[in-house]
Structure formats: C-alpha cells, structure tokens
Amino acid sequence: MIQVDNLSKAFNNVTVLHDISVTFEKGKTNLIIGRSGSGKTVFMKCLVGLHEVNAGNILYDNRNFVKMDFRERKQIRREIGMLFQGSALFDSLTVEENVMFPLNMFSAMSPAEKRARVNTCLNRVNLADVNKLYPGELSGGMKKRVAIARAIVENPRYLFCDEPNSGLDPMTSLVIDDLISEITHEYDITTVINTHDMNSVMEIGEKVIFIHEGNKEWEGTREEILDTGNKNLDDFVFASNLAKKIKSLSR
Ligand SMILES: Nc1ncnc2c1ncn2[C@@H]1O[C@H](COP(=O)(O)OP(=O)(O)O)[C@@H](O)[C@H]1O
Ligand SMILES: [Mg+2]
C-alpha cells in the first residue's frame, strides 16, 4: 500500500499539484485519470523521487519516502517497477539485454540465474523466441510487453505505469491493460497507472482517482464513475463515445 498525505508540488512558484491525499491499494490497479496537463506525470514522478515535493508525505507500506536519505530511498527504488511513456527500451540492446539490464545493475545473480529470470518474465508477457531481436524489429505492442517484462524482472512490490497505452491501437491497448492487471493480481503488487483512456478505466479501473488542474476532485470505482455529479469528471468521461453508449444502455 502507498499512502500519500497532503502532497504539493510547484515549479518556480507555480503550484502544479495542490494538497493531494490518496491511498493506493495493494494487489489492485489504481488508476489516476485526468486530461492532458492535469498533473498525472508530475505526480508519478514525485512518488518515485524523480521530483522533490514541496510539502507532504509518501508512505510506502508505512516507510516515509520523503524523509529518507539517498541510501534508504535506493532500497525503496529497488522495490519499484516503472513503465514510462514510450517504452524507453535501449535500441542498441537486444530484448534479452534490455530485460536483464536491472539485474545487471542491482542483483547478485549468476549469469545463468539472470538468463532464467529473464526468460520467466518474457514468458509471463507471452513473448517467446524474441530474445535476440532488437527493439526496432518489434511491433509497438511487443515493445510494451518487453518493457513490462523489464519492469517486473526484480519482483517489484510497486509498479508505476505512465500512459501504458500511448501510441497503441485499441485492441493492443486492451491486451496491455489486461496483462498489467493480471500481473498486479498474480504478484499482489501495488500498481499505479496514469491514463486518459476511458477504455482502460472501464477495463481495469479497480480504484480510480480523478485529477483536475492539479487537484484531486474525485475517487471511486469504475462502477461509480458514470454518476458522480462532478462536472469536470463528466466532461472527461463523456468526451468518450464509448462511455456515452454504456450510460445510455444502462438507463
Ligand atoms: N519540469 C517542469 N517544470 C515546470 N512545469 C512543469 C514541469 N513538468 C510539468 N510541468 C507542468 O505541470 C503541469 C502538469 O503536467 P503533467 O504532469 O505532465 O500533466 P499530465 O501528465 O497529466 O498530462 C503542466 O502544466 C506542465 O506544463
Ligand atoms: Mg503525462
């Protein structure tokens, strides 16, 4: 579980995140939704320490990340898997080398153990026989799966995904969403996903947090999201034709 208390973040006196408090639950897909520019990426970067916060606390299973020194944070970072916008694979490394990269950096495994772990993770994301290929030889969906394999290679307790579906077609997006959701449940990970995709909300939104102009305006489940009475959230939700259809069908 990750508990965020009263987090604020400003750049040059411009406040981008206002006093956000939220709990991300273990073994669940926690979605942060909001329009482009609402603060999702900045929030996620604060959570993992890529930005320093101006105020607030971030508790990783009761360990306060904000108060930690460099060494203590390093321990938490080892428990974090990250899937950032784009796949951020190394183009000059093979698939296998990409997935192995965190193990080479951080683990004391033998080469054989590393190879076995890489193969386990590639199998888990349903990729076989691509070990020696380069990212440039893969489709967008396959690249994403390699990035997921890399994110889970160190058995993370926490998984952060920033717009995992960006650049993917709807069918492939569904496959990636389902994969992230399955992995979350299977390994009991606290997963946080930034998205502006209502399809993802309906597919895997177990807990949903809505951010508007840097304020948390709503939280709930996907079942509750169509009737919140929040104007900004309605504008976001019903910008998608799919949600309109679902709502009209349920009436
Ligand atoms: N490094 C930065 N310096 C100054 N402003 C930033 C920086 N990064 C993001 N912002 C601003 O913070 C706001 C939120 O951005 P972002 O978190 O990227 O939105 P989202 O991910 O929801 O699309 C935007 O107004 C953006 O311009
Ligand atoms: Mg973003």
Taking the CA of 34 as reference, the closest ligand is 1
pLDDT at residue 110 is higher than 80? yes
Point out which residues pair with 216 in neighbouring strands.
Answer: 211
pLDDT on residue 106: 82
**62 belongs to a structural domain:** no
Residues 149 and 212 in one domain: no
Best of 9, 12, 41, 47 to mutate for ligand 1, by most ligand atoms within 8 A of CB? Answer: 41
pLDDT at residue 85, rounded to an integer: 78
Within-domain flag for 68: no
pLDDT for 119? 97
Model pLDDT, residue 244 = 66
Is the Cβ–Cβ distance between 192 and 30 less than 8 Å?
yes
Task: Look at ligand 1, atom 27, and give the residue with the nearest C-alpha.
Answer: 37
**Between 200 and 242, the higher pLDDT residue:** 200
* Predicted confidence (pLDDT) per residue in 220-246, tens digit: 999 999 899 999 999 998 886 666 677
Q: What is the average pLDDT value for the chain, to the nearest integer?
A: 94
For the chain, give the longest Cα–Cα distance. 59
Predicted confidence band at 88 (pLDDT cuts at 50, 70, 90)? Answer: confident
Average pLDDT for 83-87: 79
Above pLDDT 90, what percent of the chain?
86
Domain identity same for 22 and 140: no
Closest Cα partner for 212 from 227, 192, 234?
A: 234
Residue 61 lies in a domain: no
Per-residue pLDDT tens for 120-142?
Answer: 999 999 998 999 999 999 999 99
Please tell me the predicted confidence (pLDDT) of residue 243.
Answer: 62
Model pLDDT for residues 30-53, shown as the tens digit of each residue = 999 999 999 999 999 999 999 999
Instruction: Count Cα neighbours of 240 within 13 Å in the Cβ-side half-sphere.
Output: 18
pLDDT of residue 84: 84
The residue whose CB lies within 8 Å of the most ligand 1 atoms, and thus the one to mutate among 7, 8, 11, 17, is 11
Average pLDDT, integer, range 110-125: 96
Please determine, for residue 251, whether its predicted confidence score (pLDDT) is greater than 70.
no
- CA–chain centroid gap for 25, Å, is 13
C-alpha 24/C-alpha 222 separation (Å) is: 15
C-alpha 43 to ligand 1 mean position (Å): 9
- pLDDT tens-digit map of 158-180: 999 999 998 899 999 999 999 99
> Do 144 and 132 sit in the same domain of this protein?
yes
Distance CA 128, CA 139 (A): 14
Final residue of a structural domain among 102, 129, 155? 155
Position 241 scores a pLDDT of 65
Query: Same domain for 97 and 140?
Result: yes
* pLDDT value for 242: 65
* 133: CB partners within 8 A, 6+ apart: 94, 95
Which CATH number does the domain housing residue 43 bear?
3.40.50.300
- Would you state the pLDDT for residue 101? 95
Number of structural domains in the chain: 2
Residue nearest to atom 19 of ligand 1 (CA): 37
147 shares a domain with 129: yes
Q: Number of helices (H) and strands (E), helices first, in the chain?
A: 9, 10
- The owner of tokens 């799966």 is 145
Q: Which domain holds residue 141?
A: 80-155
At 60-79, the pLDDT tens digits run: 999 999 999 999 999 999 99
Is residue 190 predicted with pLDDT exceeding 80? yes
